Copies of this chain bind each other. A is one copy, B any other.
Amino acid sequence: MRATCTFQAVRPQTLGLIGLGAMGGSIARQVKQPGPGHGIRVVGWSPEPAERAIAAQEGALDDAPPRAIDVAQVADLLVLAAPPAANLTQLETLGPQLKRGAFITDVGSVKRGIVARAERLGLSDRFAGSHPLAGTHRYGFEASRPDLFRGAVVYVTPTPGGENAAFEISHFWQDVLEAEPVLIDAARHDAQLAATSHVPQVVASLLGDFLARHAPPGSSFGTGAADTTRLAASDPALWTEILLMNRDEILPALRELEESLGTVERALETGDAGALTAWLERAAHWRRRLG
């Protein structure tokens, strides 16, 4: 089950960020804007020294030390904003370095793995997963924005027994970043996101790959093909991690798509207009309701 959270604010004095790409960079920028983040010190680290330098230079960071551990040791709330596999490693490395009373979260798109890892590491009372539904197919600090999270749904996935950490982390998203935290079980999150985000990514890439190989040279593309493939421009390395981490949810969905493609093919082969219209109708009805 899911529920929207409302809390009293307990603000971090120092926010730590591991990763300064589109997500981490946007958190830093928004906190340092005039607004509810006023007074919070933001300390961030990226494996790219150039990214650290530019984030500091643009005023998104108060400090950009050369080691991740220097961030972890001063943060009241540490946000892991690296790609999903790196977040797992950082959780392991930095978890034991946290200050007493500090909390830790991540912003990855798959939640069962990291929630289980936090539990195994004995971080249940300080960790909850986060997943802001504020993706962008662009990446790197240059893709960061000061308003990426405002009004965005952020899924927060507690560890078993970690409700307090989940509450604290939820109100950070709500009070400081003006997002809309939604508490959800990690398994339910991963099943839902497989359908609503991971499968759409595969479908957009499927079409992009097809067009890359089969569109006649010099073809003009309308807004239809451009919109349908927009997600295909997303970072392949990041999506390789996401798809592999959630493959047990994604694979049955892809087999379902294969079967559905088979239905369309049979309708075309036999000239079955009724079957074709029924198939198109179901999708049209759903999409028109989405608005």
Contact = CB atoms under 8 A, between A and B. Distances in A.
A279 B209 contact: yes
A162 interface: no
A203 B207 contact: yes
How many copies of this chain does the complex contain? 2
Contacts of A223: 135
A204 B220 contact: no
Q: State the main secondary structure of chain A at its contact with B.
A: helix
A224 interface: yes
A251 to B, nearest CB: 6
Given A135-B224, A196-B215, A258-B261, A268 B286 contact: no
Contacts of A281: 236
A204 B223 CA distance: 13
Contacts of A192: 215-216, 219
A213 to B, nearest CB: 8
Nearest to A203: B207
Interface string A241-260: 10110010011011111101
Contacts of A257: 206-207, 210, 261
Contact of A200 (B134, B228, B285, B287): B228
Interface residues of A, number: 87
Interface stretch (A33-41, A53-61, A269-277): A269-277
A25 interface: no
Nearest to A152: B222
A239 interface: yes
Interface of A: 2, 133-135, 137, 153, 182, 188, 191-192, 195-197, 199-216, 218-237, 239-241, 243-244, 247, 250-251, 253-258, 260-262, 264-265, 268-269, 271, 273, 276-277, 279-288, 290
Closest 8 CB pairs of A and B: A208-B283, A212-B286, A236-B280, A232-B287, A205-B283, A232-B283, A209-B283, A233-B287
15 contacts: A135-B224, A195-B211, A195-B215, A195-B219, A196-B220, A197-B222, A200-B225, A200-B229, A203-B206, A227-B231, A234-B284, A236-B281, A244-B271, A250-B268, A257-B261
